């Protein structure tokens, strides 16, 4: 069947979708949700079809969303359509939902269809639900990791060793990557860091780095940056490294489904895609963190270690204190200020100490003598700061000092309602307030913490400040604060 292209001028954000008139669909026995093969010149694509009978899509027309039009490289003209064969991957997804194990071929087929946008959101959700409800064996996780890497691009750095690190998440700020990368790079080792943007947090590493420099580069550009500086801090989503995983993350997040097997494959695929030989994994444990029980952290550590061995990557997993945010600023510009201050010899003590610890562990993995001394020398001498400036310049940035970073014009200072000792700083509540204030979309918004766990406070002493570029958003953030004050103060009397 030949149909005239109608440009819908809309994006689906992922899956390939086309809209046909009901009368045309009836001629070839098509139903909503079926898949059609669309051909234009030498290109063809499998798309999910939806049906219309209103004037927007006339008979002998086919409405195409941006993703389909871009793939076919056509905005007008005609396309040939036919009924597509049922995707094999749907059988394998059903198999996983039934609690059966998938073999390597089946997993590769699913990920191929994920990467090619052949699966719609509902079908992808079924796959994630199957992994969540029935779990993944270590063989399945290893195959899934390989499939995600195979479906995307890889960095081709002719260097060894290549170092990487990852935090499983859950803590506001915790921006150690932006300190560790320049330390390691300044000592002559290679550390290409592809990081994520925020999904449910006030800032991802990529959002914070973007306050200082560009983070969206193609593979060739990243390779040039690393060749020049030994390191980079870029957004992985712009590079098509492990892009199938990014598509699954978009579906996992709204449902709060984070199957352990998918978490493992997700992280390790990104490490394998940059050809990392040595990887440090940080698992923060504490109330409000992603992992709240030490028992779960130990199990995850064991599986990371086993998977690293299977993939030929040297892994070191550390379980760290995740009972409160690391650093003071929460939100892209506030976190970037913390990072630059630490690199300049100032800044939050806890952020500096954790970054020093992680950089030292990485050097120990590389069997470097006097590891901690070398890390401290890099920081204290300013070598790490100079390396960070070099990386910022290579990434087309021009922000090198904390005072260059603008903070939102509206603010509200929150004071202690009584004297005592801080016994809780709730990670989730801090994140929620910062996000409602506008972070990470508004890089100037967020929360600045003045007090941390175990600190003594007096009544009416400043606890934290909320920043927003919108008075309305600031009001909403204050409503959240009234419902969910992140600070809990003991009744200990302060003299």
Q: What is the average pLDDT across 319-336?
A: 96
Distance CA 205, CA 196 (A): 6
- Of the candidate CATH numbers 3.30.1360.70, 3.90.1170.30, 3.40.630.10, 3.40.50.620, the domain formed by 410-489 belongs to 3.90.1170.30
The percentage of the chain sitting over the pLDDT mark of 90, rounded to a whole number, equals 67
Region of 29 on the Ramachandran plot (φ > 0 left; ψ -120 to 50 alpha; else beta)? left
Positions marked catalytic: 258
Question: Among residues 128, 150, 175, which one has the least CA distance to residue 329?
Answer: 175
How far CA 465 is from CA of 128, 207, 319, 414, 455, in Å, comes to 39, 21, 30, 6, 17
Whether the predicted pLDDT of 297 surpasses 90: yes
Identify the CATH number of the domain defined by range 2-83: 2.40.40.20
How far CA 339 is from CA of 88, 336, 362, 405, in Å, comes to 48, 5, 19, 12
Q: Where do the domains of the chain lie? A: 2-83, 88-135, 163-238+270-402, 410-489
Phi/psi of residue 246, nearest 5 degrees: -60, -35
Identify the CATH number of the domain defined by range 163-238+270-402: 3.40.1030.10
End-to-end C-alpha distance for the chain, whole angstroms = 85
Q: What's the pLDDT tens digit per position in 257-290?
A: 667 888 899 889 989 999 999 999 999 999 888 8
Lowest mean pLDDT among 117-126, 212-221, 388-397: 117-126
Q: What is the pLDDT of residue 223?
A: 94
Q: Is 366 exposed, middle or buried (0-12, 13-18, 19+ CB in 10 A)?
A: middle
Distance CA 196, CA 256 (A): 17
Residues in a beta bridge with 466: 412, 447
Q: What is the pLDDT of residue 495?
A: 44
């Amino acid at each position: 069947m030949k149909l005239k292209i109608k440009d819908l001028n809309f994006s689906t954000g992922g899956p390939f979708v086309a809209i046909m008139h009901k009368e045309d669909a009836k001629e070839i026995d098509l139903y909503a949700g079926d898949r059609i093969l669309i051909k234009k010149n030498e290109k063809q694509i499998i798309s999910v079809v939806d049906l219309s009978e209103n004037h927007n899509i006339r008979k002998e027309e086919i409405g195409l969303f941006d993703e389909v039009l871009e793939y076919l490289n056509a905005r007008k003209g005609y396309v040939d359509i036919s009924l597509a064969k049922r995707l094999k991957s749907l059988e394998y997804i059903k198999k996983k939902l039934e609690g059966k194990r998938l073999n390597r071929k089946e997993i590769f087929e699913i990920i191929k269809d994920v990467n090619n946008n052949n699966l719609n959101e509902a079908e992808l959700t079924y796959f994630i639900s199957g992994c969540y409800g029935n779990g993944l064996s270590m063989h399945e996780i290893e195959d899934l990791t390989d499939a995600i890497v195979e479906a995307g691009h890889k960095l081709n750095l002719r260097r060894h060793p290549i170092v990487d690190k990852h935090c499983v998440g859950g803590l506001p700020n915790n921006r150690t990557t932006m300190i560790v990368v320049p330390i390691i790079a300044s000592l002559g080792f290679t550390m290409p860091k592809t990081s994520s943007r925020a999904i449910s947090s006030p800032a991802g590493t990529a959002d914070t780095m973007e306050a200082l420099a560009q983070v969206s580069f193609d593979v060739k550009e990243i390779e040039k940056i690393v060749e020049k500086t030994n390191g980079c801090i870029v957004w992985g989503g712009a590079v098509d490294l492990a892009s199938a995983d990014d598509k699954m993350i978009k579906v996992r997040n709204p449902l709060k489904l984070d199957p352990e097997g998918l978490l493992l494959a997700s992280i390790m695929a990104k490490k394998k895609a940059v050809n990392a030989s040595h990887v440090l994994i940080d698992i923060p444990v504490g109330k409000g963190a992603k992992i709240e029980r030490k028992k779960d952290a130990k199990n995850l550590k064991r599986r990371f270690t086993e998977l690293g061995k299977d993939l030929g990557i040297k892994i070191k997993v550390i379980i760290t204190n995740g009972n409160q945010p690391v650093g003071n600023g929460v939100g892209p510009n506030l976190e970037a200020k913390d990072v630059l201050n630490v690199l300049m010899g100032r800044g939050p003590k806890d952020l500096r100490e954790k970054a020093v610890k992680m950089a030292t562990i990485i050097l120990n993995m590389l069997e470097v003598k006097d590891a901690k001394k070398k890390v401290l020398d890099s920081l204290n001498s300013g070598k790490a700061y100079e390396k960070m400036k070099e990386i910022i310049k290579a990434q087309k940035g021009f922000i090198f000092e904390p005072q260059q970073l603008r903070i939102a014009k509206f603010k509200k200072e929150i004071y202690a309602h009584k004297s005592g000792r801080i016994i809780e700083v709730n990670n989730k509540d801090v994140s929620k307030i910062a996000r409602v204030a506008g972070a990470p979309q508004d890089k100037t918004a967020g929360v600045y913490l003045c007090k941390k766990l175990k600190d003594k406070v007096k009544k009416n002493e400043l606890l934290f400040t909320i920043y927003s570029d919108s008075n309305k958003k600031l009001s909403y953030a204050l409503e959240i604060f009234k419902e969910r004050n992140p600070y809990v103060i003991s009744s200990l009397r302060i003299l």
